[in-house]
Structures are given as C-alpha cells and as structure tokens.
Amino acid sequence: MLKTCILSLFQNKYKNHIVYVHNLSFFDGIFLMARSAFSSIDNLIVNPLIKDGKYFNIELILDDLKIIFRDSLLMLPLSLKKLSKSFAVEDKSIFPYDFVNDRDINDFDYIGKLPLFKYFTNTSQSEYVNYKKQFKNKNWNLREESIKYCNNDCIILYQIIEKFNTLIFEKFNLNIHRFPTLSSLALGIYRANYLKDFRIPIISGKMFLDLKQSYTGGSTDMYIPEGKNIYGYDVNSLYPTVMKNQEMPIGNITYFEGDILKVEPNAFGFFEVEITSPQNEIKHPIIQTKVDTGNGLRTVSPLGTWKDMLFSEEINNAIKYGYKFKIIRGYLFESANIFKEYIDVLYEIKQSKSKDDPMYLISKLLLNSLYGRRSRRNGL
C-alpha cells in the first residue's frame, strides 16, 4: 500500500512538489523508513536531512523526478486540531484510536455500534455527542471511518499550509516552501526585511565552541519542592523584550588574553572567567553552568568557584549581587540593537489581532522563533 502510494506521486505534474506530513519526524517518517517503504522501490534515491533525530527533509528521486517530504509540525508546532481552529479551516474530525489499539483481534472490518466515549482520546463529551448523531440509524464502519478521518486530516493540513503561505507572502513577500522549519522561516523574514546593513558574523570552529558554553537556557531550578498558597507568574514575551531593548554582539571580533577591563572598562563580548559566587548573601544563585552527570549534561546554578565562558552583560549584572570575576581571555564584539524593528512589527500584529485570527498565532510563533536560530552551529 505504501509502495503504491509513493509511486503514484512520481508523475510530471508533481515534479519538485513538497508533501507535508504533520509529525513526520516522530511518527510517519520513522514508519516509512523502518518499514522499508522506500527501499522496496527499485532505483529510488532517498536523501534524508536529519538533525537531533528529526527528519527535516526527505528528498526522493526516481529517474528525473523529485518529490520532497517535510514535517509541517516543524513549521507550525501545534496539533492539527488547534491549527484548524486558529486558521479557521474545516473542523478536524474525531477518531477512537484506543478502540483499534485495544482490540484483541485486528478486526479492521468491524461494523457495529459506535465505540464508547472512553476510546476517543483528546475528545470532549460534546464532540462525541455531535459525532454520535451521524450513526443514529446506521452502524459504525471502522474501514469507512478510517478513510474519512485520513482524508479529513489531509484536506485540513492542505488548507492550513495554503492559508499560512498566503498570509506570510502578503505580509513579508516570502514563500514558506523555501524553508523547512519555523526558525528558518523567521530568519528568512528577518534577512529579507529587517537585516539592513548590520554586519552579523558567522561563527564557527573553536570560537563557536567557546561561545556555545555561555548558552545555558532559562533558569528553571526548583529550591522548595512543596508549599501552600503558591502563585505562578509568567513574563510576557521575555525573549522578544530582550531582543527589542538590548544591544547584541555584531561586527568585527577581537580575541584577547588577560583582564580586558583594565584596558576597556566597557568591553562587550564573551569572556572566559574564574567565577566566585557570594556564599551567604544570595538566596538563589543566578549564574548557570553545565555539569556532566554521567547521564548527559545538566544545567545548575552552583555556589563556590569555577571557570566558565560568560557574556559580558551577564557578568555586569551578577556583580550587583556579589559575584566576583577574574577575566582570563575572550572575544570582543561591536554592538547594536538589531532586532527592534522585527519585534515591533510582529508585536504590533499580535496586539492588534484577536486570538482567533491566524495572524495572532503566526506573529506569536515568529516572535519566539528567531533568537534560538542565532545560536545554531555555523551561525546562518
């Protein structure tokens, strides 16, 4: 069945077309590769692009025809159900996955009563009641409903991708099919519309490995495992706020050794330092480091003295809380506010649109997808 499906795509009218599969990386792609659907086709060339265990792109070539498979979940990281509502397209239907999975026999020709509500995962009672009305005077047919459900998913995904591409093209004059992931699309939008004359260096080799040490992610340490009357707080657009208001490292890079602050008190860049934390004056340490536990790296905020690579502005902030630093070596950068216009435009869209408008979701996703892209190996 899979072989027939794939071969049916190799027609001139589909040449160089992109086939979007929602969750290709963690389900369909693994299924296709593991079940040898591709290897069963003679002379088929398969070129997968895999990073961190995810299939970003699967290029299939047969004779002079090429078809590309991509994961739409890497572009729009929400369930089809949520996306169908956000993009106001056809409603996603429901299906009793557990009914099929829990049966003792694989009876794919089951015809009978509608499966009970307990077999429908991620389904509300009202959705089930509305679905049930279709079978008031007729039996439920597993084969027919499976085909209808799959067709519905394909139609919905097509409508979402089509609408998404139209909205992006109208606003930013870019075609989403040039980009395999949301972060690459965000970078494409930035480069095409907001990069201007900023000189952003491409970092590689030893310098990349040095600077990478300073990236540790957000602080998520838990100091008190339980309590009463606890309140939770969330910062509105934390990363976009920093991108809008703070200067970033750009331009020429200068390597140095020794205490650069004795020469340039306002030195801006990444420094290898010996860190000494305050022992008693700080309740929650704020400088993070990565520790190899034997089961992988773990990010912690320690006390004591250790060496690490830190961003100069993080050093300046930590000094206010009693941290001491001995600068050993590092890299000096120029600085500029390079993301302000990008953030302003997207935040204005987010603020001006209601939550049921697809541009609200699009602006929110793009606001949070550019910064992480900047820390990828080899920069751009």
Q: What is the pLDDT of residues 333-377, one digit of tens each?
A: 999 999 999 999 999 999 999 998 999 999 999 999 998 766 665
Q: What is the pLDDT of residue 373?
A: 67
Whether the pLDDT of residue 261 is over 90: the answer is yes
- CATH code for residues 2-74: 3.30.720
Q: What is the pLDDT of residues 55-101, one digit of tens each?
A: 888 999 999 999 999 999 999 999 999 999 999 998 899 999 888 88
Question: Pick from 254, 226, 262, 239: which is nearest to 330 by CA?
Answer: 254
Q: What is the pLDDT of residue 211?
A: 93
Domains 2-74 and 247-336 share a fold: no
Whether the pLDDT of residue 380 is over 60: the answer is no
pTM for the complete prediction?
0.85
| CA dihedral for 361, 363, 177, 27, sign (positive or negative) | negative
Q: CATH second-level architecture of 247-336?
A: 2-Layer Sandwich (3.30)
User: Quick check: 108 and 56 in contact, CB under 8 A?
Assistant: no
User: Quick check: 375 and 210 in contact, CB under 8 A?
Assistant: no
CA terminus-to-terminus distance, the chain: 40
Q: What is the pLDDT of residue 105?
A: 56
Whether the pLDDT of residue 194 is over 90: the answer is yes
Identify the helix (H) or strand (E) that includes residue 112. strand 111-112
| Out of 48-57, 85-94, 146-155, 289-298, least confident range | 48-57
Distance of CA 219 to the CA centre of its chain: 19
Token pair, residue 362, equals 């699009």
Token pair, residue 172, equals 């930013």
Q: What is the pLDDT of residues 220-233, one digit of tens each?
A: 766 677 889 988 88
Q: Any idea what DSSP says for residue 28? A: I
Whether the pLDDT of residue 161 is over 90: the answer is yes
Whether the pLDDT of residue 378 is over 60: the answer is no
Token pair, residue 238, equals 């934390």
CA distance 277 to 271: 17
Distance of CA 333 to the CA centre of its chain: 28
Q: What is the pLDDT of residue 379?
A: 39
Q: Which amino acid is at 48?
A: P
CA distance 373 to 97: 36
Rounded to an integer, the average pLDDT of 180-201 is 93
Whether the pLDDT of residue 22 is over 80: the answer is yes
In whole numbers, what is the pLDDT of the chain averaged over residues?
A: 90
- Reduce the DSSP state of residue 193 to 3 states and report it: helix
Domain boundaries, the chain: 2-74, 80-164, 247-336
Rounded to an integer, the average pLDDT of 8-31 is 87
